[in-house]
Structure 1
């Protein structure tokens, strides 16, 4: 009983009891809100309409009316599926061939191409079902029980009953390999832990060693301190994905030299993000608990494990400030889909703007600590009040 009382007093004397009670409640609220959507509705679909007919336009409207589909773009000319998928604007593309309406009226079968970006299999299940349902409903609408009575052959009836034949193609990850989802997520988290902890402790280490004032005098020093870790992280990424390609069969179609640019931008983003989180820690041993701020959002919200489209809309905007979101965008677009770097110039510009914003936050923290140091120096040099010497003299006389 004495041991129980001792541990109970230790528990309630600090903040542990608050953590025990509050932390599960917070995590339940975060997970419950983040993953309240069990499926993706209104998945973005591109339609390439080569028929340009009244019926093709009606079919597009019916596709857009499905709860699983949002027709985000209709193209009138031939365009390669890769061009639609590079920047993650669409998760699938439907090709309506020329002669669609004519074949429907004649009872001839038409093959419709349906291309699906399967780099994130969890993102495409709903849209595949939605498109299949619409096509099945259109086929059923053509078929009537009296066709055979009119003298049509069995072949003609079969052609009318399945007037449109949907031919699906799963692109980039046809086997739904876990290398592009689970393995990718775990490998990314390991680098976040290593690089994040290293750069998160830079400022606390300087503070504990009494050298922070020297670093604050020239913010460029902080940039120079971050660069070695960022370069090491870039090399680590490069080698890691090379091993995954050779040993695990990961699909990587990118130019290996082009991937170095987004890799380095990512490691800089992660380094400065971690530095901001760990800035106020008193010493390096105090930053460990802050790692959860890096790891948990990256693992849950960046799209490493689940598609970003499945998150509530407010959280989809939050993902844009997470460094891992940008790595996955470039990795999937350039590495998995084989897009060239110039296709991603707008996204590279956005990532650089985010990097500039993080560096600006670091500079503001530098200015804040400088002002605090000036106030402490002023307080130390403050003149002694006039009453103090008088009191000292009186004391000596009395003695």
Structure 2
């Protein structure tokens, strides 16, 4: 313990002497947590719509008014032909084209049917799918209004009708910030812990102080613990700041136990810091460590379930995510903060993360060579 105490004093002095590290730890996560949830939004709005109206009737005008008043579409203009409206899609000034055929109102009233053409710019797949779905739903509602106008429902309906009443649990108003903030906080804690621990040993190799440590009788596990504990404490500080910002800025208060959250994040930080220390034992320069950690972080973020549901991934990708510690943290953060899950609910995730922590830190201890 006396050896570890001296190592901790050395590490904390180095950390507090480096103002850039303190800025990275204290300021950057707070700013990112404030800004990123405002930009990360799954709801698509301001979809540019070009209309080609060959009918110019009251019904076509009502349809266009219903679409623009929904709040999701922005009318970029009327065009006399489909080819002219295509120029707007080619120049990215329009996302969808709605072509209303001639005699739209007459055919709809007399023949009880009519066809509309919807062309979607699919260069952005997410915007195309959601924009086309929004527009199709609005057109169906308009069709229902027209049918009700000419064929009002009888006092006693001849056909059985099923009514569906839905309720949203854990996020009643479908607020995307409530959904995104816990996941973004998980990513920030991972990045801070992973990058700082990965650069720590490598920095001493570049400066040359690692040679002074190697000639001392310090054991390898003491050395790794001396590097691990300071950043473990700082990781908990970053997590605490993130919870504070989530409450002050977004009004998100964890439904579940804070002690349970801190218990999981404590074990999780051991796994992430172990990965960073393992990377640093393989690398000789900070540039190498940065590139390797960047490789892992890209996989962790994109395949962690923050932006894409893990269940919708192909089977091979779901298998890969089982070795992604970030996916477990994002899941647990949402379970505890939004659902109020108890220990028995997160126990399987905690067990897997604990295995990661043991394996990665043991590997880092075994791979560190004092003779280097």
Shift of 1:193: 3.1
Q: 1:251 to 1:169 in 2, by over 3 A?
A: farther
Do 1:278 and 1:290's aligned partners in 2 also have CA atoms closer than 8 Å?
no
1:307 aligned to which of 306, 309, 312: 309
Distance 2:176 2:307 in 1: 10
Q: Which residue of 2 aligns with 1:201?
A: 199
Shift of 1:203: 2.4
Q: Which residue of 1 aligns with 2:221?
A: 219
Distance 1:273 1:327 in 2: 15
Q: Which residue of 2 aligns with 1:258?
A: 260
Q: Which residue of 1 aligns with 2:16?
A: none
Q: How many residues align?
A: 219
Distance 2:290 2:169 in 1: 41
Shift of 1:222: 0.2
Residues 107-138 of structure 1: CA deviation (Å, up to 9, x unaligned) = xxxxxxxxxxxxxxx9xx99xx9xxxxxxxxx
Q: Per the alignment, in what secondary structure is the counterpart of residue 341 of structure 2? A: coil
Do 1:203 and 1:212's aligned partners in 2 also have CA atoms closer than 8 Å?
no
Distance 1:254 1:320 in 2: 25
1:249 aligned to which of 245, 248, 251: 251
Q: 1:247 to 1:238 in 2, by over 3 A?
A: same
Residues 103-114 of structure 1 mapped to structure 2, 5 A cutoff: none
Shift of 1:184: 4.2
Structure 1 gaps of 5+ residues are 1-121, 130-152, 377-399
Aligned-residue RMSD, C-alpha? 3.0
Distance 2:170 2:190 in 1: 26
Distance 1:272 1:353 in 2: 11
Answer with 1 or 2: which has the greater Rg: 1
Question: Does residue 365 in structure 1 map to residue 367 in structure 2?
Answer: yes
Distance 2:285 2:229 in 1: 21
Q: Which residue of 2 aligns with 1:334?
A: 336
Q: Per the alignment, in what secondary structure is the counterpart of residue 364 of structure 1? A: helix
Q: 1:215 to 1:236 in 2, by over 3 A?
A: farther
Distance 1:300 1:335 in 2: 22
Q: 1:347 to 1:190 in 2, by over 3 A?
A: closer
Do 1:204 and 1:283's aligned partners in 2 also have CA atoms closer than 8 Å?
yes
Q: 1:285 to 1:190 in 2, by over 3 A?
A: same
Do 1:185 and 1:299's aligned partners in 2 also have CA atoms closer than 8 Å?
no
Shift of 1:286: 4.0
Shift of 1:296: 0.7
Shift of 1:271: 0.8
2:239 aligned to which of 237, 240, 248: 237
TM-score (norm 2): 0.52
Distance 2:304 2:217 in 1: 33
TM-score (norm 1): 0.49
Distance 1:215 1:276 in 2: 21
Q: 1:253 to 1:185 in 2, by over 3 A?
A: closer
Question: Does residue 177 in structure 1 map to residue 178 in structure 2?
Answer: no
Name which of structure 1's ranges 187-196 and 209-218 shifts more when overlaid on structure 2.
Answer: 209-218
Do 1:201 and 1:284's aligned partners in 2 also have CA atoms closer than 8 Å?
yes
Residues 324-382 of structure 1: CA deviation (Å, up to 9, x unaligned) = 2121121111111011223322322222122112123223313xx36xx4xx9xxxxxx
Do 1:193 and 1:295's aligned partners in 2 also have CA atoms closer than 8 Å?
yes
Distance 1:215 1:256 in 2: 41
Distance 1:288 1:250 in 2: 33
Distance 2:337 2:180 in 1: 17
